[in-house]
């Protein structure tokens, strides 16, 4: 969920609007149009190969799947046992769909800066202004929520280091260590809120007011690669729809 | 107890960053690590604590394999990075509670430990650690780190940001800890902690080496570029620098030293 810095690739140079639409488009493809496991598998393969081709961290992306292995296993088994006997293809289809959604979302957040995410979601939320809601505040809340997970993971890591630094011998048993960790969840949340308050103060003292109109340092324009990306997405979508209809 | 590091090269991404370092750290005396900012002092502490794994060379405790986990306490430069509980009492008692002690013994032990570090249990027990002053936070962090009495205590700039009284109080506690544990302190102000029997590991690009306190003081007085000591100390003792028994960096010790030296000279004449 964290932005990866220090990599230059075509996909990163795309406009935030293109990145956002591609992300939503692929998530829709996985959720609605993938009716066969082979199609879902091929789409996953396409994303991974694209990452290799564009010199993105494809290995890191694949390794990140270990975070959701339990979810994949659970969904696979659940979907497989829906019928009278175990349906392997239905199980694989469910697994590859979840995997695809996860890879798309992870790739999207990895290749987008905070400002790019904010820019796209602000545009998405603009119609809500009709109901008196601030699109900027909603977008900011959403981006902070996305970026909050790595902070949360960092906080857990900090506490683990703080525990070892106190000379405490931590158990190797993951279940016992998870139980020992439960009482610390409330302080972790409290500290995360405290840090967010500090961040809010820091932003305000630098003159940030969410609902004030302001300009942008960087203007985002669509270029040739954006149109190419849309073309790839629409061809893929058309193929999927055709496959579903036939 | 003796912690030895031999032929140690600290690396980052497999690239050598510092070393080779040869040093020994004993209990019964205070071990200091000094050097310029960014020279690798804190990284060396993290390496001993087992957090930095990219290195070659050996770290051994009493000539045996050294396992950091459970044997080392490390108080970070920023005391807040050690806090994760909602009260000072819980913060200090945490290590005892995970080690499975019963409630009464945890309470008694924690309260006596708080008193040792100058934290009145009645005043501080229920306070939120983040709301304390800088000096109090540091005391809480140090108390929390040392309550299990690990064999090795690593302190990263424990006196930073304290007033003179706070510094001398803490220095006293740290010195008393060093009598029973191997205490290694990273500091930019060695003169505040240095004792006659202290060992100083000086990390620098040219020649990283370990000195006795008198060797270190003598070298620093002769050559201000070697290590900058307070100007009053260097200028007063420059003519005595050839002797290896220079006094510690405090006015009283220097006055006593000069007096005894002058008396000896007078009786010699």
The predicted-structure confidence for B218-264, as pLDDT tens digits, reads as follows: 888 887 778 888 888 888 877 777 766 778 888 888 888 888 877 77
Asked if residues B72 and B48 have their Cβ atoms less than 8 Å apart, the reply is: yes
- Indicate the range of A134-143, A153-162, A184-193 predicted with least confidence: A184-193
Question: For chain A, how big is the Rg over CA atoms in Å?
Answer: 21
Cα–Cα distance measured from residue B45 to residue B39, given in angstroms and rounded to the nearest whole number: 12
pLDDT of residue A5: 61
Could you tell me how many residues make up chain B? 269
pLDDT of residue B162: 79
Per-residue pLDDT of chain B (269 residues; tens, 9 = 90+): 888 888 888 888 778 877 788 888 888 888 999 888 888 888 888 888 888 888 888 888 887 787 777 788 888 888 888 888 878 898 888 888 877 778 888 888 898 888 888 888 888 888 888 888 888 888 898 888 888 888 888 988 888 877 888 888 888 888 888 888 888 999 888 888 888 888 888 887 777 788 888 888 888 888 777 888 888 888 887 777 776 677 888 888 888 888 887 777 777 65
**Which of A162, A181, A198 to mutate to test binding with chain B, by most B CBs within 10 Å of its CB?**
A162
Q: Say how many domains are in chain A.
A: 2
Token readout for B221 is 């007085």
A:141-170 residues touching chain B, CB 8 A cutoff: 158-159, 161-170
A58 is a domain residue:
yes
High-pLDDT (> 90) share of chain A, %: 3
Q: What secondary structure does DSSP assign to chain A, as a single string?
A: -PPP-S---HHHHS-HHHHHHHHHHHHHIIIII--SHHHHHHHHHHHHHHHHHTT--HHHHHHGGGGGHHHHHHHHHHHHTSSSS--HHHHHHHHHHHHHHHHHHHHHHHH--HHHHHHHHHHHHGGGGGGT--HHHHHHHHHHHHHHHHHHHHHHHHHHHHHHHTT----S-HHHHHHHHGGGHHHHHHHHHHHHHHHHHHHHHTT--TTS----SS-----HHHHHHHHHHHHHHHHHHHHHH-
Cα–Cα distance measured from residue A179 to residue A173, given in angstroms and rounded to the nearest whole number: 10
A:182-241 residues touching chain B, CB 8 A cutoff: 184, 186-188, 190-191, 194
Token readout for B103 is 């409630």
State the smallest CA–CA distance between residue B180 and chain A in angstroms: 16
A25 is a domain residue:
yes
A56 is a domain residue:
yes
Indicate if the pLDDT at residue A177 is higher than 70: no
What angle in degrees, to the nearest 10, is found between the helix axes of B88-98 and B103-116? 130
Topology of the domain covering B2-71+150-268? Rossmann fold (3.40.50)
CB-based contact A162 B130, cutoff 8 Å: no
Cα–Cα distance measured from residue A43 to residue B256, given in angstroms and rounded to the nearest whole number: 82
Average pLDDT score over chain A: 80
What angle in degrees, to the nearest 10, is found between the helix axes of A114-125 and A135-165? 140
User: Considering CB atoms only, which of A159, A167, A180 is closest to B84?
Assistant: A159
Among chain B residues, CA nearest to A176: B98
Task: Enter the DSSP assignment of B139.
Answer: H
Q: Are residues A86 and A186 in the same domain?
A: no
Q: What secondary structure does DSSP assign to A113-144, as a single string?
A: -HHHHHHHHHHHHGGGGGGT--HHHHHHHHHH
pLDDT tens digit string along A88-147? Answer: 888 888 899 999 999 998 888 888 887 888 888 888 888 888 887 777 778 877 787 777
Q: Where in chain B is the domain with CATH 3.40.50.300?
A: 2-71+150-268
Torsion of CA B248, B252, B258, B260, to 10 degrees: -100
Q: Are residues A99 and A217 in the same domain?
A: yes
Q: Are residues A182 and A234 in the same domain?
A: no
CB-based contact A161 B50, cutoff 8 Å: no
- Whether cis (ω within 30° of 0) applies to the bond prior to B20 is yes
The closest alpha carbon to A134, from A142, B153, B47, belongs to: A142
Phi and psi for B58 in degrees, rounded to 5? -130, 140
Q: Are residues A157 and A43 in the same domain?
A: no
pLDDT of residue A180: 67
pLDDT of residue B190: 82
Residues of B in contact with A6 (CB under 8 A): none
Domain that holds residue A161: 149-203
DSSP E strands: which ranges in chain B? 2-12, 15-26, 30-35, 55-61, 64-65, 72-75, 152-156, 182-186, 199-203, 209-212
Q: Are residues A27 and A125 in the same domain?
A: yes
The closest alpha carbon to A15, from A124, A116, A160, belongs to: A116
A120 is a domain residue:
yes
Q: Compute the average pLDDT of residues A209-220.
A: 71
Among chain B residues, CA nearest to A171: B98
Q: Are residues A189 and A217 in the same domain?
A: no
Residues of A in contact with B95 (CB under 8 A): 166-168
A122 is a domain residue:
yes
A191 is a domain residue:
yes
Task: Enter the DSSP assignment of B238.
Answer: G
pLDDT of residue A174: 65
Q: Are residues A15 and A90 in the same domain?
A: yes
Q: Compute the average pLDDT of residues A188-205.
A: 77
CB-based contact A194 B130, cutoff 8 Å: yes
Q: Are residues A49 and A26 in the same domain?
A: yes
Residues of B in contact with A187 (CB under 8 A): 84-86
The size of the A-B interface in CB pairs under 8 A is: 61
Residues of A in contact with B50 (CB under 8 A): 164
Residues of A in contact with B69 (CB under 8 A): 164, 169-170
Token readout for A200 is 């809010």
What is the number of other CB atoms lying within 10 angstroms of the CB of residue A52?
A: 12
pLDDT band at A168 (very low <50, low <70, confident <90, very high): low
A2 is a domain residue:
no
A235 is a domain residue:
yes
pLDDT of residue A101: 92
Q: Are residues A54 and A85 in the same domain?
A: yes
What angle in degrees, to the nearest 10, is found between the helix axes of B164-178 and B134-146? 10
Q: Are residues A112 and A220 in the same domain?
A: yes
User: Considering CB atoms only, which of B70, B73, B86 is closest to A190?
Assistant: B86
Q: Determine how β-strand B2-12 pairs with β-strand B15-26.
A: antiparallel
The closest alpha carbon to B121, from B112, B129, B134, B133, belongs to: B112
pLDDT of residue A171: 61
Label residue A90 exposed, middle or buried (CB < 10 Å: 0-12, 13-18, 19+). Answer: middle
pLDDT tens digit string along A8-33? Answer: 777 888 888 898 999 998 898 888 87
Q: Are residues A14 and A68 in the same domain?
A: yes
Asked if residues B171 and B92 have their Cβ atoms less than 8 Å apart, the reply is: no
The closest alpha carbon to A45, from A73, A108, A21, A37, belongs to: A37
Residues of B in contact with A186 (CB under 8 A): 86
């Amino acid at each position: 969920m964290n932005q990866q810095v220090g990599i230059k690739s075509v996909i990163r140079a795309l406009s935030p609007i293109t990145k956002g639409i591609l992300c939503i488009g692929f998530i829709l493809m996985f959720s609605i149009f993938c009716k066969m496991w082979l199609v879902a598998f091929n789409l996953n393969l396409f994303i991974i190969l694209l990452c290799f081709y564009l010199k993105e961290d494809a290995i890191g992306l694949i390794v990140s799947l270990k975070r959701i292995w339990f979810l994949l296993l659970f969904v696979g088994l659940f979907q497989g046992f829906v019928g009278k006997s175990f349906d392997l293809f239905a199980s694989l289809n469910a697994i590859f769909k979840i995997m695809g959604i996860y890879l798309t979302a992870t790739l999207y957040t990895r290749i987008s800066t905070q400002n790019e995410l904010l820019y796209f979601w602000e545009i998405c939320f603009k119609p809500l202004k009709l109901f008196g809601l601030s699109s900027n505040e909603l977008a900011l809340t959403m981006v902070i929520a996305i970026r909050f997970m790595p902070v949360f993971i960092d906080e857990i890591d900090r506490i683990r280091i703080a525990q070892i630094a106190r000379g405490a011998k931590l158990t190797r048993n993951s279940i016992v260590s998870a139980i020992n960790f439960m009482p610390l969840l409330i302080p972790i949340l409290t500290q995360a809120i405290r840090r967010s308050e500090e961040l809010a103060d820091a932003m305000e003292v630098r003159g940030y007011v969410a609902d004030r109109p302001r300009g942008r340092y960087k203007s985002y324009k669509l270029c040739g690669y954006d149109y190419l990306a849309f073309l790839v997405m629409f061809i893929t979508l058309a193929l999927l729809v055709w496959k579903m209809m036939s | 107890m003796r912690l030895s590091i031999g032929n140690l090269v600290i690396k980052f991404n497999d690239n050598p960053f510092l070393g080779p370092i040869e040093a020994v750290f004993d209990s019964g005396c205070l071990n200091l690590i000094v050097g310029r900012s960014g020279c690798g002092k804190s990284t060396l502490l993290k390496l001993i604590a087992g957090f930095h794994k990219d290195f070659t060379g050996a770290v051994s405790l009493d000539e045996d394999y050294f396992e950091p986990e459970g044997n080392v306490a490390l108080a970070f430069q920023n005391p807040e990075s050690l806090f994760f509980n909602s009260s000072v009492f819980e913060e200090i008692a945490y290590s005892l509670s995970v080690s499975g002690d019963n409630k009464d013994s945890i309470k008694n032990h924690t309260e006596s430990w708080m008193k040792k570090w100058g934290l009145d249990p009645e005043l501080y027990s229920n306070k939120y650690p983040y709301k304390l002053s800088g000096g109090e936070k540091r005391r809480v962090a140090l108390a929390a780190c040392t309550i299990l009495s690990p064999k090795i205590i690593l302190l990263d700039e424990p006196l930073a940001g304290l007033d003179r009284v706070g510094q001398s109080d803490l220095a006293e506690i740290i010195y008393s800890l060093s009598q029973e544990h191997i205490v290694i302190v990273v500091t930019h102000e060695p003169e505040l902690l240095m004792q006659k029997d202290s060992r100083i590991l000086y990390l620098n690009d040219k020649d990283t080496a370990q000195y006795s306190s008198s060797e270190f003081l003598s070298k620093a007085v002769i050559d201000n570029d070697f290590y900058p000591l307070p100007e009053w100390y260097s200028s007063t003792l420059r003519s005595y620098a050839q002797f290896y028994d220079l006094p510690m960096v405090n006015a009283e010790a220097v006055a006593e030293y000069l007096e005894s030296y002058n008396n000896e000279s007078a009786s010699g004449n």
